[in-house]
Structure 1
């Protein structure tokens, strides 16, 4: 069975090995370049003002590149599910070649386990090595950016991609086993797994552990440290805040700007400060707007996860994917008896 699986899977394995080697080679070059830039950033970090400017320039140089690579790595499990998992059994059933094996001494379950174990392990190895290379290359940037919990970054670092790859592969295998047609199975697998990739970070991940809560007064300094203010709907919201004393914390929910009595800030008052604040000559990211809003005695309520929960979250989410993949494997073993 091992030799047969290798014969049937060798093209995909060789293509994955070549792609992984090219990806790792580029990340080696990028990682060394990031480390040189990080050394230069540290040498410029002589004072608080100079350090902030140097950090902003360092992050700006590599932010888009690393986001693009993380998003690309996020598509690797989709490719695995669509091109490795979905056709694995569906093609055999569609062409009828499974009957040749089932008429031998190999049972259906053993045949299915052998096929899925061989290709599934390869999928996990490919995703794991790619994630390891990206984690190494981006580690100096991640220390400065303090955004390891970012929606895209979290799913492309350390061990989570291994769980993603296993889930995508088993999902494709099960869908192919049920649909018995290769192209429909590939299409459904891609669509379903994209939904999973959206749903888990936004709907599941924030609830894997109970959140801590904090109230953050909206002083002019706090507002100027935010990344964005307002929204396309005109709502009184602020984003990109940091928990005082814990810049690496993951803020999972931020309330709208609230007045001292706990009510949401009136939209007219917010827009007045946003569009036509009194001229004070204040500097900072939002300048006069920050001064105008701080005079209203505002605050926001935060829900966040401390930075020391990063690895528990990595383990919990990876375990969730592995458990879901194992459940899908059990479903496949039951289904193959009636295939």
Structure 2
């Protein structure tokens, strides 16, 4: 069985090895470049004003590249499910070659487990190594930006991609077993897993653990450390805040700026500070606007997940994907006896 699996899978394994080597070369280069940029950022981080500007420049230099790479890594499980999982059994059933094995001494469930274990292990190793390389390359950037909980970034760091790969491969295999045609199975696998990749981060992940709540006073320093101020509608919004004591926290909800009595700050007052603040010569990302708003005794209410829960979320989501894979494997083993 092992030799047969290798013979059938060796071309895909070779392509995967070449792709991983190319990914490794680029990420090793990128990781070195990011570390050089990080050293330059630290050398300019003298006072809060300079530090905020240096951080913004460091972030903008690598943000798009790392976001693109994280999205690309998120597609690796899709490719595994579509091109490795879906044809694994569907092609055998479609061409009738499964009868050759089933007429031998190998039981159907052992045949299916053997095929899935061999290819599934390669899928886990490939995805895990790619994730390890990207996590290493992006670690200085993640330290500065504190965005490890980002929707795209979270699924491309550490162990979560391994769970994604396991589920994608298992899903593709079981769909192939049900559909029994290679091309339809590949199409269905791609669509279903892409839906899962959208649904889990947005609908499931925020509820894996209950959120903490906090009220953040809008001092000039706090505003200058934010990533954006204002919105296209003119609402008194602020984004990219940090929770004191938990700078890498995942902030899942931020209220509009509110006055001391709890009312939302009026758009006229907010826009006056944002667009035509009194000149004070203040430094920082938002300068005079931050000083103007800080004098209004404002605050925002936030819901967040503390940064020390990061690994709990990584483990929880990975366990969820592995558990779903286990259910699919059990279903597939039951189904193959009647195929």
**Please, what TM-score do these two structures have when normalized by structure 2?**
0.91
Paired residues of 1:250 and 1:306 also in contact (CA < 8 A): yes
Distance 1:195 1:282, change over 3 A: farther
- Alpha-carbon deviations, 1:124-169, whole Å to 9, x = none? 0000001111111122222222222122211111111111100110
Paired residues of 2:32 and 2:137 also in contact (CA < 8 A): yes
Number of residue pairs the alignment of both structures matches? 338
Paired residues of 1:282 and 1:291 also in contact (CA < 8 A): no
Give the Cα–Cα distance (whole angstroms) in 2 for the partners of residues 50 and 241 of structure 1: 18
Greater CA drift, 50-59 or 142-151: 50-59
Paired residues of 2:278 and 2:292 also in contact (CA < 8 A): no
Distance 1:48 1:271, change over 3 A: closer
Does structure 1 residue 6 correspond to structure 2 residue 6? yes
CA-CA distance at 1:285 after TM superposition: 3.7
Root-mean-square deviation (CA), in Å?
2.2
Distance 1:49 1:269, change over 3 A: closer
CA-CA distance at 1:244 after TM superposition: 2.2
Aligned to 1:262: 262
Aligned to 1:223: 223
Aligned to 1:59: 59
Distance 1:158 1:15, change over 3 A: same
Distance 1:40 1:278, change over 3 A: closer
Greater CA drift, 255-264 or 241-250: 255-264
CA-CA distance at 1:323 after TM superposition: 0.9
1:160-179 matches, within 5 Å, as 160-179=160-179
Aligned to 1:183: 183
Paired residues of 1:59 and 1:145 also in contact (CA < 8 A): yes
**Please, what TM-score do these two structures have when normalized by structure 1?**
0.91
CA-CA distance at 1:319 after TM superposition: 1.0
Does structure 1 residue 110 correspond to structure 2 residue 110? yes
Gaps of 5+ in 2: none
Give the Cα–Cα distance (whole angstroms) in 2 for the partners of residues 57 and 234 of structure 1: 26
- Alpha-carbon deviations, 1:172-210, whole Å to 9, x = none? 111111111111111111111111111111221121112
Give the Cα–Cα distance (whole angstroms) in 2 for the partners of residues 318 and 121 of structure 1: 16
Aligned to 1:129: 129
Paired residues of 2:24 and 2:133 also in contact (CA < 8 A): yes
Aligned to 1:42: 42
Distance 1:89 1:231, change over 3 A: farther
Aligned to 1:23: 23
Paired residues of 2:53 and 2:285 also in contact (CA < 8 A): no
Aligned to 1:307: 307
Give the Cα–Cα distance (whole angstroms) in 2 for the partners of residues 238 and 308 of structure 1: 24
Aligned to 2:195: 195
Give the Cα–Cα distance (whole angstroms) in 2 for the partners of residues 337 and 266 of structure 1: 67
Gaps of 5+ in 1: none
Aligned to 1:252: 252
Paired residues of 1:227 and 1:241 also in contact (CA < 8 A): yes
Give the Cα–Cα distance (whole angstroms) in 2 for the partners of residues 90 and 259 of structure 1: 62
Distance 1:299 1:52, change over 3 A: closer
Does structure 1 residue 101 correspond to structure 2 residue 104? no
CA-CA distance at 1:238 after TM superposition: 2.2
CA-CA distance at 1:56 after TM superposition: 2.8
Greater CA drift, 295-304 or 257-266: 257-266
Paired residues of 2:93 and 2:180 also in contact (CA < 8 A): yes
Distance 1:316 1:52, change over 3 A: same
